[in-house]
Structures are given as structure tokens and as C-alpha cells.
Amino acid sequence: MAQTPIRYRSTRGGATGLTFEQAVFEGLAPDGGLMVPDVVPDASAKWKSWKDLSFADLAFEIASLYCAEDEIPHADLKGLMTKSYQGFTHPEVVPSVKVGDMYIMELFHGPTFAFKDVALQALGNIYEYFLKRNGRRLTVLGATSGDTGSAAIYGLRGKENVECFILFPEGRVSKIQQQQMTSVLDDNVHCVAVQGTFDDCQDIVKALFGELDFKKQYGLGAVNSINWARIMLQITYYFYTYYKLCPTCDSTVSFSVPTGNFGDILAGYYAKRMGLPVKHLIVATNSNDILDRFFKTGDYDKHPVAQTCSPSMDIGISSNFERYLFYLFNEDPKRLAEAMEDFKKTGKLSVTKAELTRARADFGSGCAPEAAIKETIKTWDTKHGYCLDPHTACGVYAVNELRGPLKWEKEAPNMVVLGTAHPAKFGDCVQDAIGRPPEMPPALGAVQHAQTRFEVLPNNADRVRAHVEMTVGRRERQANEGVCICFGIRKMLSG
């Protein structure tokens, strides 16, 4: 029996019945909501048969559940996944390393040494596939707290019919993160340092996606985890890591996930809903702790963003949390829309005691203070000879904080901490912690003194919109002039 194709809808109810392609290009829904599948596919009858697959083949199996074959034929989808992971430096793509009584899922073997490569290499290829087939153009507009930007740029650089604009908060990303982004000089890559925080960058992106005429005219597309495909593609490494730890598929695994925007751990939540035997999902934050506060109190209240040594998590509002609230509110788009509108006005959102109880059943949480991050890095270097980046250190700290409440050593000993970035991307913090710089991969070291190109703009959506309009207009004129020159040369040669 043929599988009924999954369709997509907005968490706020303003869009329904979208295809996978439409959901990917939509990014933020017209009503301000996020796209979710109308049903989470049940993989309980087949997930054990995937245990020996390569990472790319497993990515295909999972993606094929969310993308109908009449949209991307299976042979094409499999080819896209194979192409996406050929550039990773480890044969397993995402290996797991036993350190002490935990495992580190090393997600930093891609081209930018951060977990976001796993999804964004594939998303870039999916975008290119649809664009070539439909003859359309795409203007990607994304905000980054550090790693999304470089991963998106490396996934989209040089792609035909794509202009890529990445906003990052000036002075609030690591030096290497900024160098990685701004040293990519491909003509279709445009970096903008915004004079504000990551939340300001994210607000600008959402505001421009909300200008529906502008969105349509310039074909705006998203690379942030507001894009459903980002979440879908990250589901793969939860299944893959499970198989490496439990090859007989007869146990449970727990995951501690450093997170600011809630996208990475949301993928784990979807994996669990699909049937993967996940015991605990631990939300690990730094001192920007809106998520930890929610799971402890039921209050999701916005606080000012603090600058920390784990800058990719310096986020005050977690965009993907809306997707989880959609399920927590029993898929009631009306209630969610009202709650998010109130939150936009007041910066506050609360749930009932019953809903908090359910949320705590889905997730544990822990918050790593600034001093604890560096102490964790130092301890692991001394005790285990393993160098953590500051974000992964938050995941380790949260696990240790919850040893008592979760009793995980006895009841669920397979504890995995997601290693979200290579420590060399945050060399200053790591050196402060261990007294020496972390080992620098040659490819990462090469960008440190490379030529860069970027614009600095104020925290103002109008200024960013004008920059996009001016840049896209200039690029289109250059493309048209190139066509005219080529036509003239052909005419001269034929004459």
C-alpha cells in the first residue's frame, strides 16, 4: 500500500496542506508560525531494519518519510543525501566517542566544524535541486549566533540562482566564526554585521519574512532552524548514534543537547515520537536560560541576553520552542497563536501545571553558569584528555547536574552528549580553561588571516531590506550584462 504523502501546516493555523517543497521554501509561515508535518510518521515497524545503514542511506530513509516520492524521486533523494555527506572528514560522518561514563556525539567533522553542517549541506543541495527543476531564484535570509551562518554559507556558496544573506551580531561571535563567514568571497554570499544581539538579527529576519510582498518579490528562503528541513535532517544523527551504541536495538539511549534555539533537541523529540527508544532528552543551556527556566517553573519569560563564552547559545527567545508548544497545546493552533501574540507584546508566556508536568516528562533541563563551563572544560581535559568546546561543556554539566534526579547511571547508562562544535572554534575560552590553545585543524586555521568582506548595518529592518534590494538588483544587472556580452561574442563569431 502506498504511503499517504505528508503535508505541512503552520503552528498558528494560517496555512495547511503544503507540500514538502512548499514548506521548505516557505520558511516562516505567512501568519508568523512555523511549518510542522500534519502527522509525525511512525517508524516503529521499520526502524530496526535501518541499523546497519551508512549515515547517508539512513538520512535518505528518514527524509523519504517526510518528502513524497512524487516531489523528489527516491533515486534523486538518495543521490542528494550521498552528495551531502561526501565532504565530511570522518568515514562515519557523525562518530561517537566514549569519554568517562558518557559518549560524545562528534558533530563537527563537516566543512565548518559545527553540527549545523549536517543539515545545511543537505539543505543547500535540496534547494539547488528544486531551483534547477523549477527555474526560480532564491534569496536566502538568515540570522546566526555563529555556526548557522558559516554552515549555510558553505552549503550555498556558488549555488546557481541563490543569493545568500547572513546577519550576525557585531562583536558577539567568536573570531574564527566571523572569519569563516566573511572570508567566503563567492559573489552570491553577503554577510552583514548587525549592531545588536542575535535576537535582534532574528527579529529582523522574521520581520522581513512577514512582509509578504517583499518575501514574494525576492523569493525569500530560510536556512535557520525555522526551516522545517533543518529539523528533519537532524533527526538522522539520533537514530545513527543509537545504532552505534545499541546494535541489537534492545536498550534505551539518553541525549543531552546544548541548545539556544531549541532546534537540535527538537529533532531528538521527533526521533522519539517516530519510535526511537529515547529515555531522556536533556535541554542544556548557558546563563541565557529561558528554556531551563521554563522546564523548572512553566514560565517562558524573555530576559536580556548575556554575552558568554558559548556565544552560539546567547539567545533570549528560542524560535523552535513554538513547535514544541504546538504539541504541548494538543496541536491547537488558535491557542498557540494567541499565546505567541501575547508573548510578542509582553515577553511572557506560561503553561498550566498539567502541561508543565507533561513537559517535564518530555525533557529534563540544566543550566551551566559561566564559571562552570570553563571548569568543566578543564576537568575533562585533566581527567580524560578530551577537549570540549564551551557549548558541549554545557551539555556535560547538565548531565552531571541531573545525575541524582534522573538516576541515569543505573536506569539509562547510555548517555550521549551532543558535541556541537570543534573546540578550536572557541580557542580563547578553551585556552582560558586549560592553559593552552586547542589543536587547530588545518582547514580551520587557514581562515584565520584570510581576506574578508562584509557590511556593518544598524539594528534596523528597513536598512537590511534596502541592502538586500540594492545587492540583488546589482547582481541581476551584472548577470544581464554577462548574458549580453556572451550574446555579442557569439554573434561576432558567427558573423
Residues marked active site are found at: 116
**Reading across the β-sheet that carries 415-419, which strands appear in turn?**
96-99, 102-106, 415-419, 253-258, 278-285, 364-367
Handedness of CA 369, 374, 377, 381 (dihedral sign): negative
Task: Give yes or no for a contact between 84 and 122, defined as CB atoms under 8 angstroms apart.
Answer: yes
Q: How far is CA 295 from CA 127, 274, 285, 290, 321, in A?
A: 35, 23, 12, 9, 12
Angle ∠(107,242,381) on CA atoms, nearest 5: 45
Q: In which residue are the cell numbers 574564527 written?
A: 176
92 close to 55: Cβ distance less than 8 angstroms: yes
DSSP for residue 423: G
Say how far apart CA 115 and CA 234 lie, in whole Å.
9
Nearest to 254 by CA among 276, 281, 283, 273: 281
Cα separation, 74 vs 208, whole angstroms: 34
One-letter amino acid for residue 495 of the chain: G
Q: How far is CA 369 from CA 130, 292, 309, 397, 398, in A?
A: 44, 12, 10, 9, 10
Burial of 451 (0-12, 13-18, 19+ CB in 10 A): exposed
How many CB atoms within 10 Å of residue 66? 21
Report which of 297, 436, 311 is spatially closest to residue 370, judged by C-alpha positions: 311
